[in-house]
Chain A
Amino acid sequence: MSTPIVVEGLTKRFGSFEAVTDVTFTAPAGAITALLGPSGSGKSTVLRMIAGLEEPTAGRIVMGGEELTVKSVQERRVGFVFQHYALFRHMSVADNVAFGLRVRKEAKDVREARVRDLLELVHLAPFADRYPDQLSGGQRQRVALARALAPQPKVLLLDEPFGALDAKVRQDLRRWLDELHRELGVTSLLVTHDQEEALELANQVVVMHEGRVEQVGSPKEIYDDPVTAFVAGFVGSANVLHGEVVDGHVRLGSFRLPGAGHLEEGTAAAAFVRPHDVRVSSGDGDTTAVVERIASLGWLSRVTLRLPDGDVVVAHVPHDELHGATEGAEVGLDLRNAKAFGLADGVPPAQDADPVG
């Protein structure tokens, strides 16, 4: 049932605007691959091209050794889940789920059994005779998923499936989708702008920006080892500190951060430091900063620090590691795991205004 999807050099132009440029990646069989990026990064267009709802300008899509690009939407056997459910509003829940089976002329008893099983699977068996407008958003999206799964698609394509739901429902549905996927093991592609969703659900993440692939890797890889400044800034929260490359370090006013050995001496660079990689100490070490604000976020504190040259750094510190830091006090500072990128790569703006998202 599970099949890998190979996308090679996929490009899409709408008139003079290039929405997707040379996108290449492989979605492994049976895994969830997330296409992660801000709105307008071309991720939905990639998904729609895989489904056949958009025609690529260039490139190919191969599914289980079969060239998909030449096939019509109807022949591709993909399950597609839309952000706004796209349920057939004049059909009952059961008829919605049965639609794909009717199209494929499945026998009535096979069809009815399958609809029953699927509604059981999405916990909506008692709602079979309801209409979409009598359901909540979360229930509608579960119907949409059952409908997409009914004709036993080779792959499941989900376009921001939780985008229209409240935070709480989104959480529940995410956990539920995770369980469902473990049970069914169908190759899935999930388009999302929500990094938490991508990191939690996906086995592999494809980070997209302005129509291009920035990085393909496991959630851990893209979080711990971002290969571009964009990925470092977009995935997880980070402090962005601008400086100059000196002796393989990024020099920021009074102190230096290691990890710029790959950058050319004397060029401008940006160092990305995660808030949980910032430690405060009571001592007055090499690097000091003034505590501007301490906010308690439950089990940890968000400490806003101002460096001597005016840059602001945000630290996430467990309460017992505050070492007596108070607002207005001067503390020692340790910035770990800094990732340095040359500024020529282009650093996403506004990341340093409030780095904690």
Chain B
Amino acid sequence: MSTVAKRGGRSGHAGILAACLVYVGLLLVLPLIGIVWTALKPGFHIVTDTLSAPDVQHALLLTVQIAVITVAVTTFFGVIVAWVLVRQRFHGRSFLNALVDLPFALSPVTVGLACFVLFAPGGWLAPFFDARGIRINFALPSMVLVTIFICIPFTIREVVPVLEEIGVDEEDASRTLGASVWHTFRKVSLPNIRWAIAYGVALSTARSIGEIGAVLIVSGLIQGRTETATLYIFRATEERQTPQAYVVALLLAAISIVLLLAIEMFHHRQERAMSSG
């Protein structure tokens, strides 16, 4: 670039930067400050009062349960699916690859409705579970199921490009040195993708904690039983318990920020790990 072009671009660059800052500031930072401000306005006691209320504690516990199960399942299967997508050549591979992204495109409400219909009386899967007395809808299983569905792509999408970039040389080397496929996976491949997996875990955790649309449909909104943290906020707002809603929202926002920092760190670690070798 010539110096003239550079000098001419300076003020333009500053303008674009200012626009970005205003955009991010107004749309992201301002609402956050708003939540903090509104939540803490009545005094700090509102925080302790809200967080010690039984329905709030139950909601938070349920959210944690759902997140833990979801992350465990999507991480385990996500790594396997990513592995198959990158390392195996088979018919329908590109179809599977596209299918994995479906949850990104689908509205969570649609996902919730689909799940609800499957397990509702007269639904395809209802007779099987009803006969065994297992409750799916309006209970934890359906809430976990829809959350898993929504979180399927995260780990896969983080691990696939890393596996592609790393290539098969290290795995081949391990095998020529006498290591079994499982040993190769554990000792060679897994350490190479660990930060991508951590990144996927953080994304899935954030997503599953924040999920409301699909869970709203399948949970039946039973207070103290199928009410997650987001559903609590939803109900508290409706019932004009605004300060309580804000406190829980603030907690969720804080968790998200911690996860965001973790995500940034994991991303950085993975990049660094990839640059070597």
Task: List chain A positions with a Cβ less than 8 A from chain B.
Answer: 51-53, 73-74, 76-80, 82, 84-90, 99-100, 103-104, 131-133, 144, 147-148, 150-151
Q: A90-B191, A99-B179, A133-B276 are in contact. List 4 more A-B contacts (CB 8 A).
A: A53-B175, A99-B177, A103-B177, A147-B177
Residue of B173, B188, B273 contacting most chain A CB atoms (<10 Å):
B173
Q: Is B192 in the interface zone, CB < 8 Å from A? A: yes
| B128 vs chain A, min Cβ distance (A) | 42
Question: Which of chain B's residues has its CB closest to A80's CB?
Answer: B176
Check B277 against A132 for contact (C-beta < 8 Å). Answer: yes
Which of A74, A84, A148 contacts B169 (CB under 8 A)? A84
Q: Is B13 in the interface zone, CB < 8 Å from A? A: no
Chain B residues bordering chain A, tally (CB within 8 A): 20
| A156 vs chain B, min Cβ distance (A) | 11
* 6 A-B pairs with the lowest CB-CB distances in the bound complex, closest first: A89-B277, A133-B276, A86-B169, A100-B177, A80-B176, A86-B173
Which of A51, A53, A89, A100 contacts B170 (CB under 8 A)? A89
| A13 vs chain B, min Cβ distance (A) | 15
| B182 vs chain A, min Cβ distance (A) | 11
| A63 vs chain B, min Cβ distance (A) | 14
Contacts of B94-114 to chain A: CB distance below 8 A? none
Task: List chain B positions with a Cβ less than 8 A from chain A.
Answer: 169-170, 172-180, 183, 187-188, 191-192, 273, 275-277
Check A99 against B174 for contact (C-beta < 8 Å). Answer: yes
Which of B176, B179, B187, B273 contacts A53 (CB under 8 A)? B176
A80 to B188, CA, bound (A): 16
A22 to B276, CA, bound (A): 39
Can you give 21 contacting A-B residue pairs, CB < 8 Å?
Answer: A52-B175, A52-B176, A53-B172, A73-B175, A76-B176, A79-B176, A82-B172, A85-B277, A86-B173, A88-B173, A88-B191, A89-B192, A89-B277, A90-B192, A100-B178, A103-B178, A132-B276, A133-B277, A144-B173, A148-B176, A148-B177
A52 to B188, CA, bound (A): 19
Which of B170, B180, B275 contacts A86 (CB under 8 A)? B170
Check B191 against A133 for contact (C-beta < 8 Å). Answer: no
B276 contact set on A, CB distance < 8 A: 89, 131-133
A84 to B165, CA, bound (A): 13
B174 contact set on A, CB distance < 8 A: 88, 99
| A298 vs chain B, min Cβ distance (A) | 39
Check B173 against A104 for contact (C-beta < 8 Å). Answer: no
| A138 vs chain B, min Cβ distance (A) | 16
A73 contact set on B, CB distance < 8 A: 175-176
Check A103 against B179 for contact (C-beta < 8 Å). Answer: yes
Residue of B169, B191, B192, B277 contacting most chain A CB atoms (<10 Å):
B277
A86 to B168, CA, bound (A): 9
Check B172 against A151 for contact (C-beta < 8 Å). Answer: no
| B180 vs chain A, min Cβ distance (A) | 6
A87 to B183, CA, bound (A): 16
B179 contact set on A, CB distance < 8 A: 74, 99, 103
Check A80 against B173 for contact (C-beta < 8 Å). Answer: yes
A133 contact set on B, CB distance < 8 A: 275-277
| A137 vs chain B, min Cβ distance (A) | 12
B183 contact set on A, CB distance < 8 A: 103
A103 to B186, CA, bound (A): 12
A86 to B178, CA, bound (A): 15
If A89-B277, A103-B183 touch, whether A80 touches B172 (CB-CB below 8 Å) is yes
B273 contact set on A, CB distance < 8 A: 89-90
| B268 vs chain A, min Cβ distance (A) | 15
| A79 vs chain B, min Cβ distance (A) | 7
